[in-house]
Structure 1
Amino acid sequence: MKIFVARLQGTPVFDPAGDQIGRIRDVVVGLRLGHRPNVHGFVVEVQPRRRVFLPITRVRRIEAGAVIFTGRINMRRFEQRTTETLAIGEILDLTVRFDDQPMTVYDVAMEETRPSTWEITSVALYKGRRREPRIVDWGEVSGFDTLQKDQGAAGLIAAFESLRAADMASALHDLPSKRRIEIARALNDTRLADVLEELPPDDQIGILGTLEPERAADVLEEMGPDDAADLLHDLPEEQASELLALMEPGEAAPVRRLLTYPEDSAGGVMTSEPVILPPSATVAEALAHIRQQDLTPSVAAQVYVSRPPTETPTGTYLGVSHFQRLLREPPSTQLGTVLDPSIDPIRPQFTLLQVAYYLANYNLVAAPVVDELGRLVGAVTVDDVLDHMLPEDWRERADYRDE
């Protein structure tokens, strides 16, 4: 039975007891001159965002939507050896030769040739812009050992298409730098912005630095103002000023405001685009707003009510209404009558520790931030606080699971 490796991306992995321990992120193979590549095993992502190695000899069964293994899995972080190749991350999109013509690798297939022994036996190829793959035997193709300056990215992007932004960021981080930049540059602005928000600062800076300034500014416009401000904080002042000047004035304005606050303050980590409505809006309107798919759960957890204008900085801030309260009220009820009187807003100058105490004390996932004029200027969410209070390299540390 042939199994195409790109289709394994994201497949759940289950232990002998039937508990899911992670998902497949890549297939580790060993290229051999004159022979089919051996499959060494799988790269499995376990929570929270650690990649470990599952030897193919421990895989008991591969079926639709599941990989079941036997024995125990070593939780040490996966480190690729120099003799190993990642089938999804490094082979897809290679330009190879078949029948003396250049073609592009769309996918590769693995088969169990002997008990517990798997090999890459077939290659799916396409030529030009037509994506109608032709499946041929591995031995009929040459060029897998050739170093390529520009490998392309379409196949890998297709394999990553169903991943959440955080998972795609994790996958990109573990790719070689050259490959990571190729994939990032090939993403559209919106997808790249979502992925950049989840990458460590060094990766963000490295990718942004390879883009034309105009494109980099477009990507910053697609990011949340707080994430864009964090990234600009990490750039050299001259580069940050250039990118801000290239952004649309309306998109740059909230970012400029956020940059005026210290990075370790409520103002420095808040989002300037929470859900804000006037007191005359109804519960039905509020619920329609928080249903928006692009809102994170913490941002959608509550609706802030203020006098017009309802863009930050708003008119006079009136209060907050939590989504649980909204679910209990008749749809026609006006928001001004269902505010929580027990929640006082915080100031932009609050330190992150003060914000953390505030959220913990009131059991909240977000807090309104109000300036000295009584205007709502943003909201701090618990995920933003955690992101800034954890060690700077928390996304890439191998040992944080056990700390």
Structure 2
Amino acid sequence: MVWRLWKTEKRQDGTQSWPSDTNQSIKQLLGMYLSSDAAPFAGWAAPGITFTPDVEPVLRNGVRGYQLALWFWLFAEKHGTIAARMVRESFCLFAEEAQPSSGERIDALLDFENRLAHSIEGISSGERTFRLESLPVELPMEFFLATGFLRLAPESPYAGENESASLQGNDYKLADCFRHATEEALAVFRAMIDKVEFDAKSLSNWKWSAHPGAAERHLQRRHGNPLFPLHRQMVTAHDVYEARLADTQALHEISNELGELNHSFAQTTELPLNWQSFLDGYRDYVDRLDERRLAAGGQNAPLGDAIARLRTDILTTWRTSLHRSRHSLAALDHEEAQRAERRALLYGCDWTAQLLSNGSLIPPEEVVPALLSESPAELEKVVTALQAEPRLHDTLVHCRATAHRLDNEARSGGRNIPDIAGKLRILDGPPEQVPH
């Protein structure tokens, strides 16, 4: 996220030596966070502020979580969001080792702090201002952090209550704590972040993305997988970092092309005489972009929505131009249904989408090992797609033969391939459905 410094004093703590190594830095940060008396987390409450016992643990956890999130936001400003995400994953894994079940809890807390900060970023100065005895008073951003936390945090006693319900003064007190805790954290973290460098090679662990891009997905297939040669089974945090950079760049390029195409179509004030081929060209371009998006993988739903909006605009223009021809409209609808069916078949799973993409990230010799790395449900989708597309029948025959060869080689070498028997049955399919 783009983190904003909300009127905090730049107070530096130059009394401590901080490590430059990424791994050492996050281990030190974890020790500070888990400690009961280490700065800046021990100073989460503003001087003179106290809370009742029923709310204090919740508010302490929320403010300390916000302090922790500050460290990762500062790290992202220096080294980028992808690097910060990987460091955060390592931090949570170290936390899990130190205190079982704490890693997932911290990760969820950081997600909440991110959403909370994002939710108030758009609040303007005017929206923060009210009049008190004819004088304008501007509420600080920390006030909105406090009210947001009290009303949205699942463990808050005020969660789910009507917005008019009283927060019993805890909003103002918590706002003071957020401001104080931010100043305390920045006094420590600025020096830490200034010192620490990022080198993915120094990270000893990572977590796979919930929605990996194509490059990361293939690393995930290879990692420790006996279907691949031993040297290809070795995957490092540096490999994952490079893959995530490549996946992000792939979506960025698609987004840029979509923006240019959108601008070009928006500039069309009058259709040419050959308007059908003109619109068909736009539709084909949009469909190719969407196929590239699906092949790229990752968290690309917003990009998919943007592509769908442009496609809708193109088809709306097309249908408007055909409004007097029921036959032509029916033909267009039929063609659209066929396109949608083909797209669902061929691009409904990662493997086929990546296989059909230009410059596929799956090397030819790893196509079948990659296929056998998919889940049984995904494998069934692949087989259905290959059977439905005549030009891919030879691919299905090759995959089946190679899969059996890999299984035989593994058996001869005393290696066990998980779920291989069931996957071979899916790949073979009923005899009458498998092309020869």
TM bucket (normalised to shorter chain) is: under 0.3
More helix by share: 2
- Structure showing greater relative contact order (alpha-carbon pairs closer than 8 Å, 6 or more residues apart): 2
TM-score of the aligned structures, taking structure 2 as reference length: 0.26
More strand by share: 1
